[in-house]
Chain A
Amino acid sequence: MTDCPSGEIRDLLPELVHDALDAARRAEVERHVAGCADCAAEVALLRSMRDALAGRTPAVNVARIVAAVQGANVSAPRLVSSPKRAFSMPRHWRAAAAIIAVSVGTLIVFRPHPVIDGAQPEMTFDGGVSDLDTQDLQALLGDLKNLDALTSADPAPLLSFPAPVVEK
C-alpha cells in the first residue's frame, strides 16, 4: 500500500470517514478519492480501523456513573448560580472582630458601678408576699388557678392581636 503525494487531501481522510467535512470540502475530497487508488485504499483501511476500534468498546454502567455524578454534585444541578458576596472579610479579620466584640461586651457588663456621693449602691429588696394585701393575694391565686387550667386544655394561640382599628 503506497501513499498519495497529496498530503493535504490525505490529512482530511479521517474527517471524511467520520463525516466531519462541510459539503464543499467533502465533495472536493470525494472527487480526489474517486480518481486516486492510494487514497481509496486508505479510506477503506480507515473505515475498517474505525469499525474495529469501535467494536472494541468496553461496557460501561451508565446508571452507576450518573448516580455517582448526582451524588458528588449534591448542590447541583443548581437552579441559579450562587450570588457572590459584594464584600468578603478575610478569616483573620473576622476573628479579630469577634474578639473585640466579646471584649467590649465584657467591659460593659462588669464595669464598676459609678460612685455617687461616696456611697456604694446596694441591692435591696423592699417587700415580700407578706406585704401584699388580701385583694392582691386573691388576684394572684386566681392567676395560679388559670395556669393550672391551661395545662389540661388545648394549647391556645400564644399571641393574638386584635384587628387594627382605623379611626376615621
Chain B
Amino acid sequence: MTLAMPKAEDDATDRALIARWQTGDERAATLLVERHAGALARFVASLGQRDELDDVVQDTFVRAFGSLDRFRSESSLRTWLFTIARNLVRDRVRGAKWQKNIVSIEEDHAATEHDALDAAVADETSERLRGAVAKLSPTQREVFTLRVGEGLSYKDIADVAGTTEGAARVHYHNAMRAIKEFLDD
C-alpha cells in the first residue's frame, strides 16, 4: 500500500523538527510535544493508565528526547512514541502487580469509566460508540484505537504492540465486527 502525502509530510516535518532540536533549537521541542502529546495521551488512556497518564506521557517524551540519536525514522516518530509509552505502561502495570496494587491493562478500566461530568456533557452517540469500544478485549481495543483513532497502518500497529501485521489485521476486523454487533443490538 502506498502511503499518501499527508503522512509523508507529517514524517518530514517531524524529521525537520528533530534536526532543529539536535542543532540547538529549543523551540523545536515544544513543537514536537504539541504535535504528538494529544495522540499519545489518548493512546495511554486507551491502555488503562488514566491515573498516571500525565506521568506516562511526560516520561515518554523525556525518554524519547534522550535517545533521539537512536531514532532511525524506519517508523514514524508517533509510532516510536507509542512504542515507548506502551513499554512504560507495561512496566508500571508489572510494578503495580508486584506491589499487589493492581491496575491491570487487562481490565476493562479506563474505557468503561465514565464519571458523572462526562456523562452529563457527552454526546449520546459518541458515548455509545465509546461504549462499544469499551466492550472490546484489551488487545482489540488497543489495535482498534491505533487503527481508527490514530490512523496507524497494520505494520505500525504491529511495531507498537509487538505483534505481526497479520495478527493486527485479524484483531482489527474482529473488533470492527464486535462493534457493529454491539451497535446493531
- Report the minimal beta-carbon distance from B139 to chain A, rounded to whole angstroms: 17
Would A53 and B149 be within 8 Å (CB), given that A70-B26, A70-B29, A73-B66 are in contact? yes
A17 and B151 CA atoms in complex are apart in Å by 8
- Report the minimal beta-carbon distance from A63 to chain B, rounded to whole angstroms: 8
Q: 8 Å CB contacts to B: which residues of A8-35?
A: 10-12, 14-15, 17-23, 25-26
A163 at the interface (CB under 8 A from B): no
Would A69 and B61 be within 8 Å (CB), given that A23-B4, A60-B38, A78-B24 are in contact? yes
Among A42-50, A103-111, A125-133, the stretch that binds chain B is A42-50
A3 and B179 CA atoms in complex are apart in Å by 12
Q: Given the complex, which residues of A lie within 8 Å of B179, measured CB to CB?
A: 45, 49
The DSSP consensus for interface residues of chain B is: helix
B interface bracket (residues with beta carbon within 8 Å of A): 35 or more
B3 at the interface (CB under 8 A from A): yes
Would A77 and B62 be within 8 Å (CB), given that A1-B184, A20-B6, A58-B41 are in contact? no
A89 at the interface (CB under 8 A from B): no
Pair count A-B, CB < 8 A: 138
Number of A residues, CB within 8 Å of B: 47
A156 at the interface (CB under 8 A from B): no
A54 at the interface (CB under 8 A from B): yes
Would A72 and B38 be within 8 Å (CB), given that A1-B180, A20-B4 are in contact? no
| Smallest Cβ-Cβ distance to B147: which chain A residue | A14
A92 at the interface (CB under 8 A from B): no
Q: Given the complex, which residues of B lie within 8 Å of A3, measured CB to CB?
A: 177
Q: Given the complex, which residues of A lie within 8 Å of B115, measured CB to CB?
A: none
